Structure 1
Amino acid sequence: MSNIKTAIVGGGCFWCTEAVFQEVNGVLEVESGYSGGTVPGRPTYREICSGLTGHAEVVKLTFDQNIISYADILIIFMTTHDPTTLNRQGADVGTQYRSVIFYQNQEEKKTAEAVLKELNPYYEGKIVTELSPLDTYFKAEEEHQNYYRQHTQQGYCSYVITPKLQKLRKLHADKLKIAATE
């Protein structure tokens, strides 16, 4: 049995979630994409942004479970975005920005349910993160891959993504590839 696994989660804008997991030890690859839609064919970013396709902006994480567990992946995910706001993260509003965990088997579903139950008391509002079986996944266009690292000085990156990285470094310093610097 291989120790290399994948997880697909959506926590608002995929640029944010991608940047977070690029710093996590044991995460081998992070790819921005789309999942959970209802329209046929391969969606485009423009179609996703309309909110009419049913897809969520997600990241596909490839990780080594000998280094980081699926449960730890989900805990980091849940604590670096707001899982209590329905179909929005900050100024990003629409079903494409929903908080969602796409599980690939019953074991992942049970782990996700346990993590959500464990974390719910720590939030003022109720966690509204959707749990859905993974049906399809599409890799996003190339310009959306590695976005934060290529556009660090852009306004959205500075004001939205950088604070999420600071939160990650504070809450999960022991899970990072390199020691937290902020």
Structure 2
Amino acid sequence: MVIKTSKIGFGGGCHWCTEAVFQSLEGVEKVEQGFVASTKPNNDFSEAVIVHFNFRCITLPTLIEIHLLTHSSRSNHSMREKYRSAIYTFDDVQQEEVNSLMVGFQRNFNDELITKVLPFKNFESSEENFKNYYFNNPEKPFCETFINPKLKLLLQQFSGFVDPRKVVHLKN
């Protein structure tokens, strides 16, 4: 049997947070944490992840909805250069699909989504000691303060997609 995988990039908040959210999902094969750049005027690197997923287990619309709900997708704050709210696509077909999905998702929000749909251009990986940060350090104050609430949202709204082995400590 051939496994059907695809990839998509997500940026919006700290890449430790974004990495942990997508690592917690069934059907996500790999999450690359680092910095992504697009085309001008978004060609500066910004914290992001590349998510490799089995689209027979979890769909692109589900991944996008999770992304929109687990970072400030409607807030243009002062750290947007470092934490660009974006979905990075890898080809024209994916770009069209994501643009179409974003129109549909906008209907679910009262405030305007600021998340940009951008073509992926470059990636720089994080240093090794920052990768898999949450699952190596779940008791650190940063993880408890910023990542746990995102994972709890996953359990509440997307429990059918959460890998129970990865978030077992949150159920207490």
TM-score, L = length of structure 1: 0.82
Instruction: Tell me the equivalent position of 2:64.
Output: 74
1:147 alignment partner AA? Y
Instruction: Tell me the equivalent position of 1:104.
Output: 90
TM superposition shift of 1:37:
6.2
**Does 2:164 align with 1:178?**
yes
Give the secondary-structure state (helix, strand or coil) at the position aligned to 1:30.
Answer: strand
Give the secondary-structure state (helix, strand or coil) at the position aligned to 2:107.
Answer: helix
Q: After superposition, what is the alpha-carbon deviation per residue over 1:148-167, rounded to whole angstroms, capped at 9, x for unaligned? A: 11121222111111101111
Asked if structure 2 preserves the Cα contact closer than 8 Å seen for 1:87 and 1:96, the reply is no
**Does 2:18 align with 1:17?**
yes
Asked if structure 2 preserves the Cα contact closer than 8 Å seen for 1:102 and 1:133, the reply is yes
Asked if structure 1 preserves the Cα contact closer than 8 Å seen for 2:28 and 2:54, the reply is yes
Which whole-Å CA distance do the structure 2 matches of 1:115 and 1:12 have between them? 21
TM superposition shift of 1:87:
4.9
TM-score, L = length of structure 2: 0.86
Which whole-Å CA distance do the structure 2 matches of 1:101 and 1:144 have between them? 22
Asked if structure 2 preserves the Cα contact closer than 8 Å seen for 1:103 and 1:132, the reply is yes
2:127 alignment partner AA? E
**Does 2:76 align with 1:86?**
yes
**Does 2:54 align with 1:64?**
yes
Q: After superposition, what is the alpha-carbon deviation per residue over 1:120-160, rounded to whole angstroms, capped at 9, x for unaligned? A: 13223200001111111121111121001112122211111
- 4+ aligned runs moved over 6 Å, structure 1: none
Identity of aligned residues (%): 26
Give the secondary-structure state (helix, strand or coil) at the position aligned to 1:95.
Answer: coil
Which whole-Å CA distance do the structure 2 matches of 1:142 and 1:85 have between them? 30
Root-mean-square deviation (CA, aligned residues, Å) is 2.2
Structure 1: any 5+ residue segments left out of the alignment? 39-52
Give the secondary-structure state (helix, strand or coil) at the position aligned to 1:97.
Answer: coil
Instruction: Tell me the equivalent position of 2:106.
Output: 120
Number of residue pairs matched?
A: 165
